[in-house]
Amino acid sequence: MIGYITVGADDMSQAERFYSAFLPALGYRLEKYHGDLSYILPAKQNGPSAQPDFYVKSPFNGQSATTGNGVMIAFKAQSQKQVRDLHAAGLAAGGSDEGQPGFRASYGPQFYVCYLRDPQGNKIALFSSDPNEPGRDG
């Protein structure tokens, strides 16, 4: 199980505006520690969270944060509508569009997804694959 995910950022105010636009809607709460951002999921009653915590930090080496080529972090939404809403919220909070919400031909018929870049350039996906919602072929 993945314990946590960390991305780098040079401007914590921009990063907080962007990530706080959608992560609380997915159940994350924000904690700040030494100027860095920690988005924490609540622990389950019988153990740890099933998903990892998400951290936004200044690089430890003091240099500028950079993005990884081929690196993407995907967050599971509860519905196709939530994917659309959170995509719009991310754009309004300083993110850039990397792929409008919708189905993708190369994925399963229920996989509804959008892609964003945070203000630092990190790639973020928001997806839903609820079998109770209309699918690509339906």
How high is the pLDDT of residue 47? 66
The arithmetic mean of pLDDT across residues 19-43, rounded, is: 93
The arithmetic mean of pLDDT across residues 117-125, rounded, is: 97
Rg of the chain (C-alpha set): 15
d(CA 89, CA 72): 19
The arithmetic mean of pLDDT across residues 101-113, rounded, is: 93
Among 3.40.640.10, 3.40.190.10, 1.10.10.10, 3.10.180.10, what is the CATH number of 4-59+71-128? Answer: 3.10.180.10
Q: Residue 14: pLDDT band by 50, 70, 90 thresholds?
A: very high
Residue 138: is its pLDDT beyond 70? no
Using the CB atoms, write b or e for 115-136: b if 16+ within 10 Å: bbbbbbebbbbbbbbeeeeeee
Q: Domain spans of the chain?
A: 4-59+71-128
Residue 60: is its pLDDT beyond 60? yes
The arithmetic mean of pLDDT across residues 67-76, rounded, is: 93
85 phi/psi in degrees, rounded to 5: -65, -45
pTM score: 0.90
How high is the pLDDT of residue 1? 67
**Average pLDDT of the chain?**
92
Of 88, 136, 92, residue with least CA distance to 112: 136
Q: Residue 105: pLDDT band by 50, 70, 90 thresholds?
A: confident
Residue 46: is its pLDDT beyond 90? no
| % of the chain beyond a pLDDT of 90 | 77
How high is the pLDDT of residue 48? 59
How high is the pLDDT of residue 53? 92
